[in-house]
Amino acid sequence: MLNDHEGSSQEDICFVFYEGQLIVKSNDNEINIPKREEIEELGLTINKEYCFGEFNIGKCYIIECEDIKRLPGDFQIVSLYQLGQIIDEEVFFIAGRANHILNWDNNHKYCSRCGAPNIDKADERAKVCTKCGAVTYPVICPAIIVAITKGDEILLAHNKNFEDNIYSIIAGFVDAGEDLESTVKREVFEEVGIKIKNIKYYGNQTWAFPNSLMIGFFAEYESGEIKVDGKEILDAAWFKKDNLPNLPKKMSIARKMIDSFILRNN
């Protein structure tokens, strides 16, 4: 885990987690990740702490606390998703990285091969089994996300897990032994029943809820009628840029791709 505390300072940025949520502080009407000196004043019971890297905002630490008695008025607890709506995008993704690492650390205390305890590997972010020596790295789950266009229209779908009647583009996890383009075609056909063509890479984004890597594509409609699966997707339709439904938050790659479609059609 690169569990190094040497060189720590009061200026360190501390991502403090309690029951899966983060402690943040309000400074002059801005939400910030607190510094070490601010966290120490809270008198928290700390379960674990480790450095996970140095970024533009400074040296960053993950801290997991066991209990919170009462926080001063300028502190609050927010979910990672809520954080993405109130803080700078760069900081949000650093927080996501911290959440990803913490979840992996908590869920890999024991070796999946023999069941013996794991310990942190000294020279890299990994776990090593104390008995059989098996090395385990952070789990990263690749998933595709695809914006399908038909002329000046884009296909948007409502997933049963979406709040506020949000519509977004199609996404799904990559299966074992499957290449990305095959995943795109399969997920689209499974969820909305159409065939697509001209699949082109757009970009990617980490999505630490808790450990996904979203890989974005654009594709064009080829054939078929929309037929939602009724399990994950409850509704789907073609939309023009001036008649869009409720969309995902701007921090997501889904929204960035939809915004790209809008820009292309201006």
pLDDT in tens, 8-64: 789 999 999 999 999 999 887 889 999 999 999 999 999 999 999 999 999 999 999
Distances from the Cα of 184 to the Cα of 77, 156, 223, 260, angstroms = 37, 15, 15, 19
pLDDT over 90 for what percent of the chain? Answer: 88
State the fold for domain 141-264.
Nucleoside Triphosphate Pyrophosphohydrolase (3.90.79)
pLDDT in tens, 94-144: 999 999 999 999 999 999 999 999 999 999 999 999 999 999 999 999 999
Q: How far apart are CA 71 and CA 21, in angstroms?
A: 14
Q: How far apart are CA 197 and CA 200, in angstroms?
A: 9
Domain regions of the chain by residue span: 13-107, 141-264
Average pLDDT over residues 81-94: 94
Query: Virtual CA dihedral for 250, 254, 255, 256, nearest 10 degrees?
Result: 90
Q: ∠ CA 250-255-258 to the nearest 5 degrees?
A: 140
Whether 141-264 and 13-107 are alike in CATH topology: the answer is: yes
At 246, give phi and psi (nearest 5°): -60, 135
Is the pLDDT at 68 greater than 60, yes or no? yes
pLDDT band at 2 (very low <50, low <70, confident <90, very high): very low
pLDDT in tens, 163-185: 889 999 999 999 999 999 999 99
Distances from the Cα of 50 to the Cα of 16, 59, 125, 146, angstroms = 11, 11, 11, 36
* CATH no., domain 13-107: 3.90.79.10
pLDDT band at 188 (very low <50, low <70, confident <90, very high): very high
Structure confidence at residue 8 (pLDDT) = 76
Instruction: Name which of 80-84, 138-142, 199-203, 233-237 the model is least confident about.
Output: 80-84
Q: How far apart are CA 209 and CA 204, in angstroms?
A: 15
Is the pLDDT at 162 greater than 90, yes or no? yes
